[in-house]
Structure 1
Amino acid sequence: MKTLKVLLIEDDMIEVMKLNRVITSLNLSHKIIEANNGEEALKLLEKKDNLPDIILLDLNMPKINGIEFLSILKDDDTLKYIPTIILTTSNNERDLIECYKIGIAGYILKPLKYEDYVSKIEKLLSYWSINELKKI
């Protein structure tokens, strides 16, 4: 399995710590790059010299929300190829449809139980680490 460079866009520090704990506890070597909001993420991405393999995106964030961020990302000729997976607590049908319309690679609900969260993250990262990803 290849090591992924993952951009996590999440404003809740507990969620950031949780993902990092899962990576460590599963002995995975994926590199997590953190952005606290969409604005910060766009600043990281604009350099285009060290792009992530995948993006994990929370929908409910200050400044630029997840859907606005996605729209900006998909309008960029380079960034639009980065698989973006929504990782959220929102099971709002409208959000789900809107995200797929813009062009996401997946929509994952954060489970309440930690064990279920570990299982979902493990499967998610395992799946993307065997994919052929476009090198930009």
Structure 2
Amino acid sequence: MLCIFFNLGLMKKVKKILIIEDDATTAFLHQRLLQDMDVAEEIEYITDPQQALEYLQNNHSAADLIFLDVEMPQMDGFQFLDKLEARGISLKDIFIVMHTASMSPEHKKKAETLYGEKLKGFVQKPLQAEFIKDAICKIDRV
């Protein structure tokens, strides 16, 4: 269910959205979509998951919403989440939406089984306005 306030222009912007995506072109396109939607004060992307881990460890409240790629060569999204928790960063404190090009049932089941309510969404790439609106609405209700 999409938030009616978004469509009426009454929804407040989130402070920061972070995109963790190994493909720079995809990350840039997602960033442009988010900028065009005017949903955040700041939108940043990081293409190296190790660098993203370090960034989040040093800035616990660095982002209101994170779009995390599932399939990355250095470490996949699931390994990223495990390493994030191993560093003492609770997934409950961050709105994380995983995104993937394949949308395989195995990935979705793995996400639900391992992380359950800690993940706020699992969507197919490329990001679409409806998914983004839904994620922003969920943040606004917390």
Equivalence for 1:25: 36
SS of alignment partner, residue 87 of structure 1: strand
TM-fit CA distance, 1:98: 1.1
Distance 2:35 2:17 in 1: 14
Instruction: Look up the SS of the partner of 1:14 in the other structure.
Output: helix
Distance 1:109 1:129 in 2: 20
Q: TM-score, with normalisation over the residues of structure 2? A: 0.75
Aligned counterpart for 1:46 among listed residues 23, 33, 57: 57
Contact persistence 2:20–2:52 (CA under 8 A)? yes
Q: Is the alpha carbon distance of 1:55 and 1:29 closer, same or farther for their aligned partners in structure 2, counting shifts above 3 Å?
A: closer
1:5 and 2:16 equivalent? yes
Structure 1 residues 77 and 35, CA, compared in 2 at 3 Å: closer, same or farther? same
Bigger share in strand:
2
- Contact 1:4/1:53, CA 8 A, preserved across alignment: yes
TM-score by length of 1: 0.78
Are 1:95 and 2:110 an aligned pair? Answer: no
Q: In the comparison of the two structures, how many residue pairs are matched?
A: 127
Q: Structure 1 stretches of 5 or more lacking a match? A: none
Alpha-carbon shift at residue 76 of structure 1 (Å): 4.5
- Give per-residue Cα distances to partners, 1:65-88, cap 9 Å, x unaligned: 111111222344433221211111
Q: Kindly report which structure 2 residues correspond to 1:1-136, keeping only aligned pairs within 5 A, or say none.
A: 1-48=12-59, 50-80=61-91, 81-103=93-115, 104-111=119-126, 117-121=128-132, 123-132=133-142
Unaligned 5+ residue runs, structure 2? 1-11
Offset, 1:38: 1.8
Residue pair 1:8, 1:57 contacting (<8 A) in 2 also: yes
Quote the offset at 1:42 in angstroms.
0.4
What displacement does 1:49 show? 5.1
State how far apart, in whole Å, the 2-side matches of 1:108 and 1:32 are.
Answer: 19
Moved more, 43-52 or 92-101: 43-52
Report if aligned partners of 1:74, 1:102 keep a CA contact under 8 Å in 2: no
- CA displacement at 1:60 relative to structure 2: 1.0
Letter in 2 for 1:65: D
Describe the superposition over 1:84-115 as per-residue Cα deviations: whole angstroms up to 9, x where unpaired.
1111112211111111222221101125xxxx
